[in-house]
Structure 1
Amino acid sequence: MLVSAKQQAMIMPIKRSERDPAAEAASGLQSAALQALRDNLHGAQVQESATEQATQQVNAATAISDNVDEAFAKTRVQLQTVGSSAPEDISSAMAQFKDYMSKTPEERLRDSILEEMGITEEEYEAMPPEKQLAVGEEIAQRMQDKAAMAQVEKAQESRSDEKNPATDMFLASL
């Protein structure tokens, strides 16, 4: 096998014999110290960036917390101002509810028809007897109409509730 001298030529690192081992060690330490200094500088920049980011997040959280506290305070003030008049509203609503529940269904229906006609109970009482009679007849007619409508609706519901044998057979075949 023939080997060419050109192919086997290797470049060997040149050792400088004029440098002593102490100088080489000092050079190595110096380069290690420079690398450590670079790493510390980079680490300080990363730490500074992280500190800035954390500070921004804390500032944002503080702003949000302040906004929540402000909204809570406004809501509390509104509730206190509304709450001072609330007992009167509650007692009025309670009185209306009790009055409504004390009436018979016929009286409730009569009141709703009067309301539809745009007449209050006080106005009805203030009317002359002839007008009261006419309004009373109108109320009676409307009550009969509503009762008839309720019966028709009830009959329709009962028809729709009844089972149709043809429908049952169709559903069973599915």
Structure 2
Amino acid sequence: MLVSAKQQAMILPLKRPGEDPTAEAASGLRSAALQALRDNIQAQATQGSTQVQESITGQATQQVNAAAAISDNVDEAFAKTRVQLQTTASSASEETSSALMEFKDYMSKTPEERLRDSILEEMGITEEEYEAMPPEKQLAVGQEIAQRMQDKAAMAQVEKAQDSRTDGKNPATDMFLASL
């Protein structure tokens, strides 16, 4: 059997509009459905954009409220810190003035009075306690203070004598240098 290489053309009869009522009805339904679908999509897009706008507006409002709350918290913290600093500054100035008064009192004393105060402190007795003691105890404490003052004076003289013998040189340093 021989097959022809030429293809035979098929000719379909052309239908004119208006000749096939079912085709026209289907075409009309299709275009109406497409139009309804387009309208529906457009309505959803409009509704969606409105919802997106409302969502964005809500988020922006929340962020503004959060920023305002943070700003209020910062202002409150700043106010508290300022009050604390003012309170601390006033108490610090009181402490500074009391320390300054103590220093001035100390510097106004003679070296003997300073030594007496340091000995009383070593003994664990305050000036007020010393003043409140009966005269016999004051005399005993006074003798102890005098004895300690003499001991310290003697120690100072011994140190001064050692310094003058070595002409300001340290004997330990001299021995170290000699060993080299």
After TM superposition, the score normalised by the length of structure 2 is 0.47
Higher RCO (C-alpha 8 Å, min separation 6): 1
Greater C-alpha Rg: 2
